[in-house]
Amino acid sequence: MQTVGRDACIVSRLETFLAMSPRLKIEPAQYCDNSSKRNTACKAKPDPSTLVFGKHFSDHMLTITWSEKEGWEAPQIKPFQNLSLHPASSALHYSIELFEGMKAFRGADNHIRLFRPMLNMERMHRSADRSCLPLFDKAELLECIRKLVEVDQEWVPYSQNASLYIRPTFIGTEPSLGVSRAGKALIFVIVGPVGPYFATGSFNPVSLLADPSFVRAWKGGVGAFKMGGNYGPTIAVQNEAVKRGCQQVLWLYGDDEEITEVGTMNLFIYWTNEKGDKELITPPLDGIILPGVTRQSLLDLARSWNEFKVTERNMGMKELLGALDSGRVLEVFGAGTACVVCPVGSLLYRGKTYQIPTMQNGPDLAKRFHKELTDIQVGLFTSAFTHNIQQL
């Protein structure tokens, strides 16, 4: 049960938390200017059953500033607040920005766990390198994030149907209109409780628009990196999908109309191949696919089961439609941190709607993946995928 007294206890011991890791140079005086700015009055927590994605935020945030002259400054955990940026900051004009998406889960044993967080740190590091933002120590940043979750641990929902979403963000703050590498930068991390990503619920099928006139990413570009500039331009296409009666976009690429991603998720197709074997296919990491943590986890699980063929290869629309016509497609689903696993029910392509029999087939595999991952996330069985958070 959540109580004000427990929140007050956590806040009163914030200095103790921060002092536990002197190597991070996080000192009590650095997370707030004076005692009057400490969040001794914590916000009320929303009902986990009414949560929507990305609308609620916790009491604290993490900030770490960098400059070419001074290097990395000491991390600060402080009350959640607005940022103050120079109007010429490079992130605002040239999208010198990247982010990550992670989750913390409260298990049936009341322990709080992160799910494969180092994969997020490694991807964030690659994105920073591609953005010409300063590189950072991955383990150190993860430790800072762990401290933030410890401080705001009462914001991790007391529910196995909700979680704490963690959004590390890295922006260029160089106060110059020149198009060049940023000489100043800021990492900030905000967290908040979330429910299902889609309004339709946690495991209802979505409909897709596949229109080859729209492209999400291309070879030689930055589709493999988690940059904000990859997401903003997709909103207009998403709106077009809704106008045509669909919920998400199936992104295609090239003359062969290769299937790449679905919305902001990685895509999986479970079918019976031409040889009569059950096979799970997902597009390869060829530069236009984001290397998702959930994607990698599903591949790792499937290969550990060793029950069907697992293949990373390209598949064009012609091949997919042929397999649908011959009844060989069993399930199609997306996978990502926000939704975990999302079944696909139909596809609109060149004016024709194709029904995908995902739900008619259980969906046995999608449900199995979903249960296996969520069981790991809430600690129903021990896994190297999870990292525990220290709790009061």
The residue among 252, 244, 269 whose CA lies nearest residue 317 is: 252
CATH top-level class for 206-377? Answer: alpha beta
pTM above 0.75, yes or no: yes
Per-residue confidence at 6, pLDDT binned at 50, 70, 90? low
Sequential DSSP letters for 117-167: HHHHHHHHHHHHHHTTPPP--HHHHHHHHHHHHHHTGGGS-SSTT-EEEEE
CATH number assigned to the domain covering 4-195: 3.30.470.10
Amino acid symbol at 327? G
Q: Would you list the domain boundaries of the chain?
A: 4-195, 206-377
- Tell me: pLDDT of 5 over 70: no
Tens digits of per-residue pLDDT, 100-117?
A: 999 999 998 999 999 999
Tens digits of per-residue pLDDT, 292-344?
A: 999 999 999 999 999 999 999 999 999 999 999 999 999 999 999 988 999 99
Count the helix, strand and coil residues of the chain and give each as a percent rounded to the nearest 5.
30, 30, 40
The residue among 223, 244, 245 whose CA lies nearest residue 234 is: 223
Predicted pLDDT of residue 381 = 87
**How far apart, in whole angstroms, are the C-alpha atoms of residue 109 and residue 89?**
45
